[in-house]
Chain A
Amino acid sequence: MKKILNLLLYILRYILCIIAFFITLYIMIIMCNRLDKGFIDILYLAIPYFLLFLLFLFNLFLRNKYINSNIFYNITCCLVFIVNILVCCRCLFDKSMLLNRVYGYSINFGFFNDYLSFNSIMLYGLAVSTIFFMFTYNRNN
């Protein structure tokens, strides 16, 4: 049971990472258009996603069981991306937050902006913990 659950979460974290990245990027591009900023200005937001995805792929090829079979780590990754997707969906579709219509873009940029710092903390935190788990792998190998 534990192995099946871990396998599901292991596959889900890749899918959720990609969905979370693209939905965040969509909102960021519209935000940049609204503020007349270039794409380079929001590139720094894509860095934690790329970093995390690279670490995931790196550990996939290394077959690091301290990360791939770590159920707590997999749950945390999935939870982080679910929160990311949930916040982005609320920015886009939750009309009870009145800033959703005030800007005229049907996106609540204020709410999204408040969340961005938490998002960076969680993604960089996951990347750092992945690196620490990789040290463990190296030590035991």
Chain B
Amino acid sequence: MRRFFIEYSYIIGFTITGLVFGLACFLLFVNFYHYKNTNVVYYQDSVLSKRLVSINNKINSAHNNIYSVDVNGYSGDIDKVSLLNLYSKLSFCITKLDSIGSSFNKKKLNVQDVYNLTLLYKNNIINDCVVVQLYDLDKNINIEKLNIIKPFVKLNADSLINSVSYVKKNLENNSSYFLSSKFMKDNVFEVTRDSYIEVLNSYEESVDLVYDLTVFFKSLIGV
């Protein structure tokens, strides 16, 4: 056995060196490929731009619905304090939607921009507006008609709360090596582009929810 090792130690040494060389080359190329994949830049196309314009128009309509009514001058059956509470919740949400609207208009996005946008949307809209303001809509608000739309609001809020959690986790896991082909990136999933579209979809749903609530509010006042 000893003689065998001494005779063939040169071959075994080269074999092991060759295997280590192969592993090192693999790691080197995988790192270059991974770097190229994580540095993909997404350029916003015309379809998304039109979508953003329609979302902005909806926010403006919601804005008009809320600010065109004179809540202080209301003299109907509904409790005025409750109306004012509902008014302040909705105007807070519209302010938040206005504040982050410009962040979606960026034409050139890399993965860091999409991640920042996800955090901004999650903190400002999901946490501050949907969870704090809209989830328990009838808290300190005594309006009978609210019971009709409360389940609808809660259902939408539940769907929105979890809508971007997996996007955030997926983006944070972009350190793992993934060897996706160009075919997969064009047809199945591309991290930067598709994460941005998921956040935009969720943003559009939250705008729709707030808009519907402003229409409801306007109908309460009777305008």
Instruction: Name A's B-contacting residues (CB within 8 A).
Output: 66, 72-73, 75-76, 79-80, 82-83, 86-87, 90, 94-99, 102, 108, 110-111, 114-115, 118, 121-122, 125-126, 128-130, 132-133, 135-136, 138-139
Interface of A is mostly: helix
**Which of A99, A133, A135 makes the CB contact (< 8 A) with B175?**
A99
Minimum C-beta distance from A130 to chain B (A): 8
B112 & A96 in contact (Cβ 8 Å cutoff):
yes
Q: Which of B18-69 contact A (CB under 8 A)?
A: 18-21, 23-25, 27-28, 31, 35, 38-39
A138 to chain B: which residues have CB within 8 Å?
Answer: 6
B16 & A125 in contact (Cβ 8 Å cutoff):
yes
Number of A-B contacts (CB under 8 A): 102
Q: Chain B: interface residue count, which band? A: 20 to 34
A90 & B31 in contact (Cβ 8 Å cutoff):
yes
Complex Cα spacing A141 to B27, Å:
37
Interface of B is mostly: helix
Task: Say yes or no for B178: interface residue by CB 8 A criterion.
Answer: no
Q: List 29 A-B contacts (CB under 8 A).
A: A73-B17, A76-B17, A79-B21, A79-B24, A79-B28, A83-B24, A83-B31, A86-B28, A86-B31, A87-B31, A90-B31, A96-B174, A97-B174, A98-B111, A98-B115, A98-B172, A98-B175, A99-B173, A108-B175, A114-B175, A121-B20, A125-B19, A126-B20, A128-B16, A132-B10, A133-B10, A133-B13, A135-B6, A136-B13
A133 to chain B: which residues have CB within 8 Å?
Answer: 9-10, 13
**Which of A87, A95, A99, A129 makes the CB contact (< 8 A) with B172?**
A99
Minimum C-beta distance from A49 to chain B (A): 15
